[in-house]
Amino acid sequence: MSPISLIKVALKALFRNRMRTILSVLGIVIGVAAVITMVAMGEGSKQSIKNQMTSMGTNAIIIMPNQNRRGGVQMSADNSSEHLEEADVIALREQAQYINAVSPMISANGQAIVGNNNSPTQLSGISSDYLKIRNYEIEDGVMFDDDADRIAKVCVIGQTVVSNLFPDGNPIGKTIRYKSIPLKVIGTLKAKGSGDFGQDQDDVIFTPYQTVMKRFNATTEIRQIYANSIGEGYAEKATEEIMGILKERRSWTKPTDPFRIHTQEEMITMMTTTSDMLSLVLTAIAGISLLVGGIGIMNIMYVSVTERTKEIGLRMAIGARGRDILLQFLFESVAISLLGGLIGILLGIGASQAVKAILNWPMSVSITSVVVSFGVCFITGVFFGWYPARKASNLDPIEALRFE
């Protein structure tokens, strides 16, 4: 029997049992759509993490004391005397070859007040390099000068602070009171949006770090130092160099490191690994639906073989070969699977776009997931249709004709 004739016979058999065919297709549709949607969610999450981390600064490095604290209480006595200070910042600027910008970070908590408006924004003491490290840009006004404005009562603010405190006008030249200390606004920052953990990167007030140290916190300790490497691939060398400089300043001989250094590459790897694991779990769960759909096809093909036993015997009696019967039933199984796969792909892409539009979740449908899903559908049709088709092809014509 020619392939075209086999296809015609198989399609007629499928159309004779429309409801059964539709239900079989539906199982594959749900499985494929679920897999594509879950993969899109995982890929979108991974891409969103990378984009948000990049928005926080390219090749960023964060240095902080290696202190074990719990509930604000120092738990490790070995490193209790080690803290970052301004001399460390100066040493890194002068000696480090694998970093091109460095800035301290000292914070103060309180209310920013302008007239009747207030905002619980954290005040951050930084140097001008911090803008370069974290990809901030000045939109209006100027950035303070590290030397001329060393302990000056000036600040640069983000767009959220502008909206909260100055809803009616330009904030440049106006004054913000923070813990009863007046700060003159000399510049505003371009909007950046949310950061990697959902924090508002525009809800910031930046002032010279010496201003925070002397006027707000009365301390010489620096909470963190931010830096960035000279380019991609230099993070490890920069980390080793920074640790070496900090240890050398202290003549450090203990086996433990006095400071912790986190690179942006490490944070991206950690977060994407978690995202990949979650995506794998969700895809595996969705894949169960596809497996159930395949089992449904096998069940339907078994029923079809049983119902059409006399038809099979008659066809074999008038000359049909076992190979023709095998291909016919196998084609029916593959046709159900591929039709379900095609509809499932369209439904999965549509569901991903709907989730993105309605829930504003990051979704990214990859061509690879679509191609793999379609390939899996073909394999599913062959795998779950082979045994019933083989059973049909091995029927004895005489026994098949006697079947009731």
Beta strands in 233-325 (DSSP E): 259-263
The structure's pTM equals: 0.65
**Residues 6+ positions from 188 with CB-CB distance below 8 Å:** 138, 139, 140, 141, 156, 157, 158, 159, 162, 171, 172
Task: Pick 225 or 315 by higher pLDDT.
Answer: 225
Q: Per residue in 28-45, pLDDT tens? A: 898 888 888 888 888 887
- Assess whether 97 and 229 both reside in one domain: yes
Q: Dump pLDDT digits (tens) for 192-235.
A: 877 555 578 899 999 999 999 999 988 888 989 999 998 878 88
Q: Is the pLDDT of residue 315 over 80?
A: no
Give the C-alpha separation, 216 to 205, whole Å.
14
In this structure, is residue 73 part of a structural domain?
A: no
Asked which of 257, 286, 321 is the last residue of a domain, the reply is 257
Number of structural domains (the chain) is 2
Is there a single domain that holds both residue 166 and residue 275?
no
pLDDT, tens digit, for every residue of 68-117? 544 444 444 344 457 899 999 999 999 999 999 999 999 999 999 999 99
What pLDDT digit, counting tens, does each position of 165-201 carry? 998 888 999 999 999 999 999 999 999 877 555 578 8
**pLDDT tens-place string over residues 132-163:** 998 899 999 999 999 888 899 999 999 999 99
| 199 and 99 in a common domain | yes
122 and 176 both lie in a single domain: yes
Is 129 part of a structural domain of the chain? yes
At residue 76, the pLDDT reads: 44
For the chain, what percent of residues have pLDDT higher than 90?
Answer: 36
Percent share of the chain, pLDDT over 70: 91
- Last residue in a domain, options 257, 283, 305: 257
Do 132 and 246 belong to one domain?
yes
Please give the residue that has the higher pLDDT: either 279 or 216: 216
Can you read off the two tokens belonging to residue 392?
């049909």
For the segment 1-12, the average pLDDT, to the nearest whole number, is 73
Q: How far is CA 113 from the centre of its chain?
A: 37
Same domain, 284 and 397: yes
H/E run at residue 41 = helix 18-55
For 319, the domain range is: 3-53+270-402
CA distance 401 to 316: 10
Q: Please, are residues 200 and 55 in contact by the beta-carbon 8 Å criterion? A: no
Q: Are residues 163 and 291 in the same domain?
A: no
pLDDT at 17 over 70: yes
Q: Does the pLDDT of residue 54 top 70, yes or no?
A: no
Q: Does one domain contain both 237 and 318?
A: no
- pLDDT tens profile 385-395: 888 888 888 87
- pLDDT over threshold 80, residue 53: no
Looking at every residue in the chain, the average pLDDT score rounds to: 84
- Radius of gyration of the chain from Cα atoms? 33
- Would 62 be classed as within a structural domain? no
